[in-house]
Amino acid sequence: MNEFNRQKLGLLLTVNDMLAAFDDGVALSEENWEDVRAALSALGVPGENIMIELTERARTGDKSVILQLQTYFTRFFDAQASAAANSAIISDSYKSGKYGCDREFSAYINFLKSNSASDISAGVYEKLRGVQIKQPEYYKLITEDSRGWYFENNWLDGVGGANNSLITNRVNTLKSNLSKLTWLYDNLADSLSRRSLNALIKFWLTWDYADWRNIALYYCDVVDTNTFPFYDDEIFVDCGSYIGDTVMQFVTAVNSGYKRVYTYDISRKSIELIRQNLASLPNVDIRHKGTGEINAEMVEVGVDQAFHGNKLSADGYGNVVDTVKVVRLDDDIDGPITFLKIDCEGMDKETLRGAKAHIQKYRPKLHVDSYHKLADIVDIPGLIREFDSSYVLFLRLAMTPDTPPRFPTPLFMAI
């Protein structure tokens, strides 16, 4: 465990001991409660968080308030202690060069700093030519069978093609975010996260997905019980519910011990399937709405069927399927959220911003897909930590092991 996490654990134990003393009949003084608040603030808990609110109210000695605080703090302690234990296998900073993944990341940063975007892009293009020769089936998959990623102007026509903006856009994203990438690497919770970031950069620069594939075999699903602690009163909000498959995964993981589930999806056809697939489950609130940072109406573009790639559009560009109400989660849900999953086909950052108050107050577990736009890889973890600097960040790369990958699908988990 590095020194930062030792200090964090010390603060956690300080608060835990004081709350335990209350259970033993010790009357906590005004100074004790001030110490609790100071420790929570030092841990990065924002002033809007319910633990800060309850700490202020607990000064009166109200037992029910203190019991509430104990419940929230115990879960915060569980998450922070688990993440701190993971840090035992990583160095304090990549700059120490202690581990191989740190040296690899440092080499990527130096390479990006030392070469122009045009030279790097030319090198990536030449490596694509090598893929065309050595891996023709894979080359076909990522060029004529895919063309690129449709949320931005990221196209890959291939060698000799008119538009290979995916290459230049990836390189420009890396070059323009060097300080954010460095911050991210230093703030990832475990070595698998750091190796995942390296694997992503390596693929963007070389088309080599071997490291990504090896790492992705360890990835388990949205409801990752190796990372997330779950309890018997979870309130799960699934933004981008598709056909309800993630909800079923969640219910299985928690052995049906949850309080409520909210599902959001923009497709009427998906909503129909969600209602069918989740019909036997209690306390599931199915909402035919999109999620964002403002309350508005937008159009759904894509195909008129249950399809995970349908997206919202403000300008109506594409095949318009329907008009959809878009809401801020902060306005649409009253009360706490304990687990928030976001996979909103390009509206991921907007959905996060629209849930800022819930995140700051209740500090839900977060799973946010971060591949719909190239800069999501740095923007999304930055937003999470901007809202609450006590969140611990895990990066994972998903892949179906038995098929070649078209593009990396990074996601962030935060506890």
Tens digit of pLDDT for each residue in 56-79? Answer: 999 999 999 999 999 999 999 999
Where residue 255 falls (left for φ over 0; alpha for ψ -120 to 50; beta otherwise) is left
**Which pLDDT band, with edges at 50, 70 and 90, does 333 fall under?**
very high
Residue 396 and residue 192 in contact, taking contact as beta carbons nearer than 8 Å: yes
Confidence (pLDDT) at 303: 73
- Residue 225 is encoded by which pair of tokens? 């019980």
- For 87, list phi and psi in degrees, rounded to 5: -70, -10
All residues at 6 or more sequence positions from 400 whose CB lies less than 8 Å from its CB, including other chains: none
258 pLDDT exceeds 70? Answer: yes
Confidence (pLDDT) at 380: 98
**Which pLDDT band, with edges at 50, 70 and 90, does 259 fall under?**
very high
All residues at 6 or more sequence positions from 120 whose CB lies less than 8 Å from its CB, including other chains: 111, 112, 171, 175, 205
pLDDT tens figures, 168-208: 999 999 999 999 999 999 999 988 899 999 999 999 999 99
How many residues in the chain?
415
pLDDT tens figures, 337-386: 999 999 998 999 999 999 999 999 999 999 999 999 999 999 999 999 99
Confidence (pLDDT) at 14: 92
All residues at 6 or more sequence positions from 127 whose CB lies less than 8 Å from its CB, including other chains: 205, 206, 207
SS3 of 186-250: the string is HHECCHHHHHHHHHHHHHHHHCCCHHHHHHHCCCCCCCCCCCCCCCCCEEEEEECCCCCHHHHHH
Predicted TM-score (pTM) of this structure: 0.93
Maximal CA-CA distance, the chain: 77
Confidence (pLDDT) at 220: 57
What is the mean pLDDT of the segment spanning 268-294? 96
**Which pLDDT band, with edges at 50, 70 and 90, does 101 fall under?**
confident
Percentage with pLDDT > 70 across the chain = 94
DSSP conformational letter for 59: T
Of 35, 42, 41, 2, nearest to 16 by C-alpha is 35
All residues at 6 or more sequence positions from 402 whose CB lies less than 8 Å from its CB, including other chains: none
118 pLDDT exceeds 70? Answer: yes
**Which pLDDT band, with edges at 50, 70 and 90, does 403 fall under?**
confident
Q: What is the mean pLDDT of the chain?
A: 91
- Residue 299 is encoded by which pair of tokens? 């159009």
What's the rounded Cα separation, in Å, for the pair 390 and 48?
13
All residues at 6 or more sequence positions from 184 whose CB lies less than 8 Å from its CB, including other chains: 197, 377, 378, 381, 382, 393, 395
